[in-house]
A = this chain, B = another copy of it.
Amino acid sequence: MNATGVIVEYNPFHNGHLYHINLTKQKTGADVVIAVMSGHFLQRGEPALVDKWQRATMALQAGVDLVIELPYCFATGHAKDFAFGGVSLLESLGCQTMSFGSEAGSIEGFKSSYSLLNAHNDEVQLNIHEQIKSGISYPQALNNSYKVLSAKYNLDLIDLSQPNNILGYHYVEQIMTHHFAMQPLTIQRITAGYHDDVSKNESIASATGIRKELLQQKQLSAIEQFIPPTSLESLITNDSYSSWETFYPQLRFTILRSSPAELRQYVDLTEGIEFLIYKAAQQCNTFPLFMQKIKSKRYTWTRIQRMLCHIFVGYTKEQRENFTSPRYIRILGMTSIGQQYISIHKKDFKLPIVSRVASFKDSMLEVDIRATDLYMLASGHHIIGKDYKTPPIRLLNK
């Protein structure tokens, strides 16, 4: 069977995602679409609006055949680590193609950009390093270096200041660096910019815009035009949505229960930012005020939020050292076609399949399980060990 992969968060699943899945199927003629999806904490360093099983269900209802969890350590990593975790898993699953949305819309631009940057890697790294020292963020520094380079060689390349292009670049980079057999494919995003606010005359909006509407308006009608009917029906059952605003009491308690020295043990906390985080937690009663206190040119919103995830989940630098690549294929959900794909191809998979977490003892998986428990507690659910209790979702009429 011919498989195509996507790397997603589906927070929540919306019409833009549906468009991407449908066009991917059309362009690749894939028999099966596999989504590697983040669990309860996302690449922008935020808790997901709704839990991972609900997000997997929305994906299956909309045409994805198999949903695999991207482990916490990759899902909340920098773009490069996120991309590596995602493409490694898709490669392990035997996908011939991986498809991503981008502003650029042509895969050739990505490949040329990678070749150029790779050929001048030492020069670029040195330049990025210099910029970071002067207080510029990594994505910004990469883009600056890249602009200089493309002007110098007079090449017409992708715009690396666009967020989906950046992520796509990292997918291509990881595929090419690791010489994966899987081919990258990109589909041009339509209408909505990544961070744009929603527009009432459109059926497509960015996930960021949709989340903002939902969290502000607190009712589904605010977003129903942007999501498929199946997703709408699924979300109707929710009486609340999770966010840092709702998780702030637990986050604040956790920060203030620690000393700055204890905070320093968590992933990404460097350069004394632990003192800034501790002080902001002392002074600020709400999450927006807290973030305002910490944010600066040096520390982007996303970078700070990722640190907060690691504090919240208790994910330490010591743990991360052992997490170099994915170790398991954790199934969150599947359709009949997805199930069929697994039974035919699993002997060729490069990693073990995990349907029941109780049968697979692994420190990387334990972080995912703990992340679920803490997410559930902070969301006001008294369900502990949901990873143990929830078998993969099966949508068997599809």
Contacts and interface: CB of A to CB of B under 8 A. Distances in A.
Interface string A256-267: 111000100000
A253 interface: yes
Contacts of A252: 377
Given A282-B384, A384-B282, A257 B314 contact: yes
Total copies of this chain within the assembly:
2
Interface in A286-320: 312-314
A147 interface: no
A384 B249 contact: no
A111 to B, nearest CB: 43
A253 B256 contact: no
Contacts of A238: none
B282 A377 contact: no
A285 interface: yes
A378 interface: yes
A237 B250 CA distance: 27
A249 to B, nearest CB: 7
Given A285-B382, A382-B285, A377 B258 contact: no
A285 B373 CA distance: 13
Interface in A344-393: 370, 373-374, 377-378, 382, 384-385
Contact of A374 (B256, B282, B312): B256
A314 B253 contact: no
Given A249-B377, A250-B250, A257 B370 contact: yes
Contacts of A216: none
Nearest to A384: B282
A134 interface: no
Given A282-B385, A377-B249, A384-B283, A370 B256 contact: yes
Contacts of A374: 253, 256-257
A254 interface: yes
Contacts of A384: 256, 281-283
Nearest to A311: B257
A369 to B, nearest CB: 10
A373 B257 CA distance: 8
Contacts of A373: 256, 282
Contacts of A313: 257
Contacts of A382: 285
A315 to B, nearest CB: 10
Nearest to A314: B257
Interface string A73-87: 000000000000000
Given A256-B370, A257-B314, 7 more contacts: A249-B377, A252-B377, A256-B373, A257-B374, A258-B314, A282-B373, A282-B384
18 contacts: A249-B377, A250-B250, A253-B253, A253-B254, A253-B377, A254-B254, A254-B257, A256-B370, A256-B374, A257-B314, A257-B370, A257-B374, A258-B314, A262-B314, A281-B384, A282-B384, A282-B385, A283-B384
List the 6 shortest-distance A-B pairs measured between CB atoms, nearest first. Answer: A285-B382, A282-B384, A257-B314, A253-B377, A256-B373, A250-B253
